[in-house]
Amino acid sequence: MIWKSTSDSEMFFLSILPLRHDDLKEMLDSNKDSLKLEAMKRIVAMIARGKNASDLFPAVVKNVACKNIEVKKLVYVYLVRYAEEQQDLALLSISTFQRGLKDPNQLIRASALRVLSSIRVTIIVPIMMLAIKEAASDMSPYVRKTAAHAIPKLYSLDPEQKDQLIEVIEKLLADKTTLVAGSVVMAFEEVCPERIDLIHKNYRKLCNLLIDVEEWGQVVIINMLTRYARTQFLNPNINEGSAEAMAMAKRKPYVMDPDHRLLLRNTKPLLQSRNAAVVMAVAQLYFHLAPKAEVGVIAKALVRLLRSHSEVQYVVLQNVATMTIKRRGMFEPYLKSFYIRSTDPTQIKVLKLEVLTNLANETNISTILREFQTYIKSMDKDFVAATIQAIGRCATNIGEVRDTCLNGLVQLLSNRDELVVAESVVVIKKLLQMQPEKHSDIIKHMAKLTDNIQVPMARASILWLIGEYCEHVPKIAPDVLRKMAKSFTNEEDIVKLQIINLAAKLYLTNSKQTKLLTQYVLNLAKYDQNYDIRDRARFIRQLIVPTEKSGALSKYAKKLFLALKPAPVLESPFKDRDHFQLGSLSHLLNAKAGGYQELPDWPEAAPDPSVRNVEVKESVRACDTQCGSDNLICQTFLSPFDSDLFSTESDSASGSESGSGSGEESGSGSASEESEEGSDSEEEEEEMEKDNKKKTKIEFKKQVQESESTVKSYELLHRITGEGLSVEYCFSRQPFSSDANMVAVQMQFTNNSTSETKSLHMEDVKLQSGMRVKEFAEIESLPAGESATAVMGIDFCDSTQAANFQLKFFVSIQPPVGELMQPVFLTENEFKKEQGQLMGMNEITEKLTLDIKCRNEHAIVQRVTTTANLSRVPCGSDKECRFAGRTVTSGSLVLVTVVTKDEGATQLTVNCEKMVIGTMLVKDILLALTQ
């Protein structure tokens, strides 16, 4: 009712009031797009909060054909959530989704495919297959990415489509855009991980594109390439193996495959990624693939992750604990990083203890034991118990400190906390088994504790020790048995079993004093409620008390009960856990999880490396592909010192130089391992210099994508003025493919009339001096109700002057100053250097006070990048944001700095060679930050 005529003030109150489902349905049935948009925002917000909105499905699905793009996007978001639950209603709208696959807007095409693949009905499998095949050939990489995501969904619905899906995967694997790479590799892993032949010809491309792929795609690709490398390359640590392997290595010296080196070199910069999963993926790759001398580079990166959230720490420490079993040396310099804080959760404390114990050696044991002494005073009892066990393991592994540890544990027997005493008894028992004859005093001391210790496991351990070494304490053992016999009926089952064992051993060694006591204990056990105790008593009676029916077994009673028992080996629970791939769920659980793929063993002989030799087009060598149709970040786009980062470093057609910039290594097939290590050391300094650039470059691609997603649309021709023809345009922020000095303007034509519009092209172009324009291909006809998209390039000569031309009607395009720029990749040091050269008249500074909504870093970055096509530059301070770009035509550098202080006080600085552009940009950014 109230939706028929809603003013702006009413819309404000609607936005802050909770609405019933009936109100939302009424808003969705309205003729106003603003009401529909508000209703859809409310519904999507309900879903995000976990509320059920399935009863709104009929009302929402009717709006799937809405012409408003924003409404249509939200409708598709809703449908993806509920399409599987409301399959019948979703099927009724399937024709609309199919039309959406042809929509000019890439987001609508992708959303339509996403909804279609979410309808889990086998009857539409052919339609889904056709849609995926078409989407895999789409001009937009975003749609192709969505097609890759739809492949596993279709495969799980109908596995018989596997062969056709593999063809699509093969096609998408050849895609050169970084946006698609991660998604298609995930589809490959889900559908056909055994088809390793599909990776051969794409291996080098994936290695070179890896640094530009989005973070979760990097994780998937790295894990896949780890398993690939284990099947295609030789073990670089073959000299560490058996004598037979070493003899073979001597006959034929190991030379690392250049493609193996390419993988290691291209993943190394990702150790500096901000994403913990990426760092963990690279770490496991190096652990499983790298030569022993190079694995150490991952230690610092993993230690850095210990400053993250406790969930991240838990996973990292699990993997570090496994690594320290075989590669202890690489973590020894970071020993203090594993010291335990009082604020750490118990599970983190236990894992750090495990690592410290694994790292203990003759050199650092005194330091570690001092730490352990502090931990024993903790209020966390589980942690204290784990610490006592860790002391026992250190004493077992390092003989020099065994007596020291044993004496320290004996002192703990006087602790007031019985849990501490109990755990100490259990550990002392294990240590005494190694040299019992030297420690009879300790056994006597422990025997006296039976009156005070009430923890069942500790009492059982003391009784076992006294029984096992009763010959060392012949006077005390019978007295202990007397006391235990007296309290037998009140003891726990585990203690009763050890009392029976003690009685049996004393009967065999000192029957004169203990015969009657033994019979008394066995009689009590005969009528015990626990059948294990009754069975044990019956068995022992027949064994140690010979009768006519006992048989020959009683002759061997002493050998059975008093046999020498080997000392227990206190091993890490993480020993041999590395047979699971590090970083995987199976490794975390120490059990094979569903969908886990085994890490292959190294091949005995190197497979043919020529399978990876593929011809690489020159365009790939010259430019690194970024997301977007015809979207190449060319060398003209970047500053001179950036161009080397976007050139591929390998992939020659012959495959003789397929290392990543490793001219020293390629062609050295007959060279010795020593020469390879020498060339590596020469390149180490060069790699260190590039690490900083590559770290920032990981962020650069993401920022470019985010910048492209903030583009605004402008009206060029209204449908009334254009007699049914309406035109909208936007600055797509993508380099114009035909001329890098032109600004790409994307135009969308819509025929709102009932008749066909013909011959759409520019006429009578009027440009300012020096300005150039590249016309879009002529659109011969546009049927009624249809839309078409075209891209035009305009060289505005770094000016905001309008470009005027006839498009059946007079139209004018005037660019905002922020659209005359392209983002540029700069490191922090390069930014400071360039800013230092653009001082004086090239620097404009303004002071402002930010509204409370805009005082956080995210809001500032969003508003600046929406205003101007700039990229973020890394900065060590969270109070300072830096941005960089170049003007499209002249390539003049534009640097922006926003420094925030207390209570919203902010300083905006723009450094630019062109004073006019700098002045205009300051005004626009100032307006954006203060709105």
Note the pLDDT tens digit of each residue in 268-326.
999 999 999 999 999 999 999 999 888 989 999 999 999 989 999 999 999 999 999 88
The single-letter DSSP state of residue 853 is G
Do 15 and 129 fall within a single domain? yes
pLDDT of residue 157: 87
Do 130 and 51 fall within a single domain? yes
Do 53 and 193 fall within a single domain? yes
Domain boundary among 217, 232, 247: 232
- How many structural domains is the chain composed of? 4
Residue 254 lies in a domain: no
Beta-ladder partners of 893: 886
**C-alpha of 159 from chain center:** 28
Do 482 and 563 fall within a single domain? yes
- Taken as a whole, the chain contains a residue count of 931
Banded model confidence at residue 620, pLDDT cuts 50, 70, 90: very low
- Give the least confident one: 159-173, 591-605, 668-682, 754-768: 668-682
pLDDT of residue 639: 34
Closest CA to 728 of 712, 709, 713, 710: 713
Residue 201 lies in a domain: yes
- Give the least confident one: 36-45, 247-256, 702-711, 744-753: 702-711
pLDDT digit string, tens, across residues 525-551? 988 888 899 998 888 888 887 666 656
Residue 144 lies in a domain: yes
- CA 644, 647, 653, 658 torsion: positive or negative? positive
pLDDT of residue 634: 33
CATH code for the domain in which residue 861 is found: 3.30.310.10
Residue 307 lies in a domain: no
CATH code for the domain in which residue 739 is found: 2.60.40.1150
Banded model confidence at residue 142, pLDDT cuts 50, 70, 90: very high
Contacts for 361 with CB less than 8 Å, ≥ 6 apart: 328, 332, 398
Flag whether pLDDT at 229 surpasses 90: yes
The single-letter DSSP state of residue 742 is S
Share of the chain above pLDDT 70, in %: 82
pLDDT of residue 643: 34
Banded model confidence at residue 776, pLDDT cuts 50, 70, 90: low
Flag whether pLDDT at 477 surpasses 60: yes
pLDDT of residue 691: 54
Beta-ladder partners of 751: 725
pLDDT of residue 770: 63
Asked if 215 and 699 count as a contact pair (C-beta separation under 8 A), the reply is no
Domain boundary among 816, 840, 864: 816
Q: Report the number of secondary-structure helices (H) and strands (E) in the chain.
A: 38, 18
Average pLDDT, the chain: 79
Share of the chain above pLDDT 90, in %: 21
Do 788 and 892 fall within a single domain? no
Domain hosting 140: range is 9-232
Do 753 and 839 fall within a single domain? no
Banded model confidence at residue 2, pLDDT cuts 50, 70, 90: very low
Segment 514-535 shows an average pLDDT of 88
DSSP characters over 412-436: HTT-S-HHHHHHHHHHHHHHHTTSG
What amino acid is encoded at 493 in this protein? D
CA dist 518 and 495 (Å) reads 15
Do 794 and 827 fall within a single domain? no
CATH code for the domain in which residue 161 is found: 1.25.10.10
Do 32 and 151 fall within a single domain? yes
Residue 656 lies in a domain: no
Query: 427 versus 436: which is more confidently predicted?
Result: 427
pLDDT of residue 641: 33
Do 854 and 873 fall within a single domain? yes
Flag whether pLDDT at 764 surpasses 80: no
Domain boundary among 759, 782, 816: 816
pLDDT of residue 251: 53
Closest CA to 930 of 841, 869, 864: 864
Place of tokens 């659209």: 819
- Give the least confident one: 108-122, 456-470, 753-767, 830-844: 753-767
pTM assigned to the model: 0.59
- Give the least confident one: 304-318, 470-484, 880-894: 470-484
Query: 282 versus 791: which is more confidently predicted?
Result: 282
The CA-based angle 913-916-921, given to 5 degrees, is 90
pLDDT of residue 618: 39
Do 841 and 811 fall within a single domain? no
Do 57 and 193 fall within a single domain? yes
Residue 613 lies in a domain: no
The CA-based angle 671-673-675, given to 5 degrees, is 65
Do 846 and 812 fall within a single domain? no
pLDDT digit string, tens, across residues 571-589? 777 887 878 888 888 888 8
CA dist 197 and 102 (Å) reads 34
Closest CA to 594 of 190, 150, 151, 159: 190
Residue 370 lies in a domain: no
Max mean pLDDT range (238-247, 469-478, 498-507): 498-507
Segment 698-717 shows an average pLDDT of 63
DSSP characters over 854-920: G-SHHHHHHHHHHHS--EEE--S-TTEEEEEEEETTT--EEEEEEEE-GGGEEEEEEEESSHHHHHH
Residue 377 lies in a domain: no
